[in-house]
């Protein structure tokens, strides 16, 4: 069916008093109808993600129901043992997150699959931890992570606690595509299933298990730390508020402030706008409270608390936002330095980063005799490397990627803003005891390993035309590979489209230049944008930024000409 036929089908199948029917009746613009129905919201390794609304290309009870039934069919196909192991489900504070999570729980239960849920919103990393702790076969989180308020999403996990692999996602997709969305979805009332025992609501002791595992990551404690260090934290109206505050209390921090306007859930993110801690604008209120309290460190997690970002004070007392790479430098350095000082650095230690993350952390790891492995972007790949490391005698120490995601605990197979926050706060308190700030430590890292500049711009191109233009951009770059950028020779190129060494295929290109600079280009897998990553190393930060800017400007100017 074309988009007009799908539109008509929905109007025919939905009852006239259904909110989705009423919404579609108000849609008269042909372009908007096409955008809502030109494709089905695609299910992949990132699950589902899209704007909330009526249509096949939207998050709604029909698309969520169809996806859930397909996953239920996949689990049923695995047999009685998989059904008995069951599924654990969580959700964030967004519009319809609770409703979608209860819908999904009812569908799994109606299909004879054991279900575990939480009494309210919970962080994505807690869900990932609980999959392994409860030994469930799968996990579902209703969240759109850091996306704008108009979006929602559906993250699917498998029994290893990672988001589903390509192989599992493809098999689930095959099942989903067979589901008749109008007559083939088995449903059951959520509350009735809870009362019957087919859905188990997890108690507070499970939250405690998650926090205990995080707090066990502590490297220094007690008198080694200045626990009076002034801190500010914002959960950006998301899931992090309760666990992050409890973690700070448990660890003994005595001088911290939570941004009150952003402490409680708000699906409209009224005081934030775009709830991405990677964007310095998300720290506006945190900075105000930081100046009032004299805070040395500002911390933020995104709405589902898997992303984490910070701002630190420089020598002038101004707050400086750190990008994901820079926070990664501090964490890699602190973890390795701490373990070496404590005599707990393993003989065969390993860390993992994505292919588009800065290579400065690789230099730090090598200085401590630790191997840095590279994977594709996404924590299904980063944390998915853990079994390989175990098989080859390595001890996992840390994994991260530049998009403010950090995985410090191998029992939590996803990025975790709560554990990252604990380690950064601990590091700040440890160095303060020594008379140093995180700003001092970051500059020490540059002095020792090289001054790196990083920049990660992107071009947002929404809708059908945007998606097609991104495809043309990637095709043009492959057909016109540069030999020189900003006067610097391109030494070599890696194209991951067909895979590279032990790294599976991804639509990504990476260019290495003769002056110790490199950059990468890839379309986002979850958002309508093409992403760029630029890195340059020089003997001063000023030179590094100048070189990086010259390369970035030429690349962006060239690719924007592709229509």
Run of H or E including 299: strand 297-301
Indicate which residue of 145, 354, 419, 536 is catalytic: 145
Using only C-alpha atoms, the chain has a radius of gyration, in whole angstroms, of 24
N-to-C CA span, the chain = 29
Query: CA triplet 338, 341, 345: central angle to 5 degrees?
Result: 70
127 contact partners, CB below 8 Å, separation of at least 6: 88, 89, 90, 139, 141, 157
The two three-digit tokens of residue 364, written as one number: 């730090």
Q: What is the DSSP letter of 166?
A: H
Give dist(CA 401, CA 415) in Å, integer. Answer: 9
Q: At what angle do helices 417-433 and 124-134 cross, to 10 degrees?
A: 110
Place of tokens 């707050």: 319
Q: What is the DSSP string of 442-454?
A: HHHHHHHH-EEEE
**Residue 145 annotated to the active site:** yes
* Residue among 150, 458, 154 at smallest CA distance from 274: 150
For tokens 């900075």, the residue is: 287
- Spell 191-200 as b/e; 16+ CB within 10 A means b: eebbeeebbe
Cα 30 to Cα 28: distance, rounded to the nearest angstrom: 6
For tokens 């962080």, the residue is 123
CA proximity to 520, closest of 493, 543, 550, 499: 493
List of residues 6+ apart from 150 with CB closer than 8 A: 51, 52
Under a CB-based contact definition with an 8 Å cutoff, are residues 154 and 47 in contact? yes
Alpha-carbon distance of 448 to 156, in angstroms, equals 41
Q: Are 524 and 438 in contact (CB under 8 A)?
A: no
Q: Is 142 helix (H, G, I), strand (E, B) or coil?
A: strand
Closest among 474, 464, 485 to 549, alpha carbons compared: 485
Active site residues: 145
């Amino acid at each position: 069916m074309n988009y007009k036929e799908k539109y008509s089908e929905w109007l025919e199948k939905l009852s006239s008093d259904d909110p989705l029917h009423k919404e579609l009746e108000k849609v008269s613009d042909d372009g908007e109808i096409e955008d809502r129905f030109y494709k089905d919201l695609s299910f992949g390794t990132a699950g589902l993600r899209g704007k909330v609304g009526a249509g096949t290309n939207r998050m709604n009870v029909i698309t969520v129901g169809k996806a859930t039934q397909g996953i239920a069919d996949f689990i049923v196909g695995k047999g009685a043992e998989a059904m008995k192991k069951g599924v654990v489900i969580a959700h964030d504070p967004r519009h319809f997150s609770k409703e979608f999570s209860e819908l999904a729980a009812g569908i799994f239960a109606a299909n004879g699959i054991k279900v575990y849920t939480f009494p309210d919103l919970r962080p994505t990393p807690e869900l990932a931890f609980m999959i392994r702790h409860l030994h469930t076969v799968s996990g579902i989180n209703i969240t759109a992570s850091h996306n704008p308020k108009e979006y929602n999403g559906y993250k699917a996990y498998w029994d290893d606690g990672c988001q589903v692999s390509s192989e599992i996602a493809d098999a689930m997709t095959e099942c989903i595509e067979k589901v008749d969305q109008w007559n083939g979805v088995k449903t059951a009332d959520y509350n009735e299933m809870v009362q019957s025992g087919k859905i188990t609501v997890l108690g507070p002791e499970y939250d405690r298990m998650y926090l205990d595992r995080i707090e066990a990551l502590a490297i220094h404690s007690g008198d080694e730390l200045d626990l009076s260090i002034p801190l500010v934290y914002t959960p950006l109206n998301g899931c992090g508020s309760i666990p992050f505050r409890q973690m700070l209390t448990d660890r003994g921090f005595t001088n911290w402030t939570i941004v009150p306007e952003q402490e409680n859930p708000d699906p409209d993110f009224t005081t934030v706008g775009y709830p991405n801690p990677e964007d310095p604008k998300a720290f506006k209120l945190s900075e105000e409270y930081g100046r009032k309290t004299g805070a040395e460190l500002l911390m933020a997690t995104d709405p589902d608390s898997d992303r984490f970002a910070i701002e630190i004070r420089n020598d002038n007392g101004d707050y400086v936002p750190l990008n994901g790479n820079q926070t990664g430098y501090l964490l890699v350095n602190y973890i390795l330095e701490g373990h070496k000082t404590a005599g707990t650095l393993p003989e065969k230690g390993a860390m993992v980063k994505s292919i588009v993350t800065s290579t400065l952390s690789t230099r730090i790891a090598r200085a401590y005799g630790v191997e840095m492995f590279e994977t594709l972007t996404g924590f299904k790949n980063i944390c998915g490397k853990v079994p390989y490391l175990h098989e080859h005698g390595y001890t996992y120490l840390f994994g991260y990627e530049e998009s403010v995601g950090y995985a410090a605990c191998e029992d939590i197979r996803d990025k975790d803003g709560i554990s990252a926050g604990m380690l950064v706060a601990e590091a700040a308190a440890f160095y303060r005891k020594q008379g140093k700030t995180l700003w001092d430590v970051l500059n020490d890292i540059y002095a020792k390993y090289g001054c790196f500049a990083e920049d990660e711009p992107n071009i947002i191109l929404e809708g059908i035309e945007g998606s097609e233009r991104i495809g043309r951009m990637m095709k043009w770059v492959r057909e016109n590979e540069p030999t020189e950028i900003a006067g610097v020779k391109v030494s070599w190129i890696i194209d991951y489209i067909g895979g590279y060494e032990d790294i599976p295929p991804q639509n990504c290109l990476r260019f290495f230049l003769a002056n110790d600079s490199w950059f990468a280009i890839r379309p986002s897998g979850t958002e309508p944008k093409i992403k760029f990553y630029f890195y340059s190393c020089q003997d001063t930060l000023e030179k590094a930024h100048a070189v990086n800017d010259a390369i970035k400007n030429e690349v962006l100017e060239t690719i924007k000409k592709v229509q």
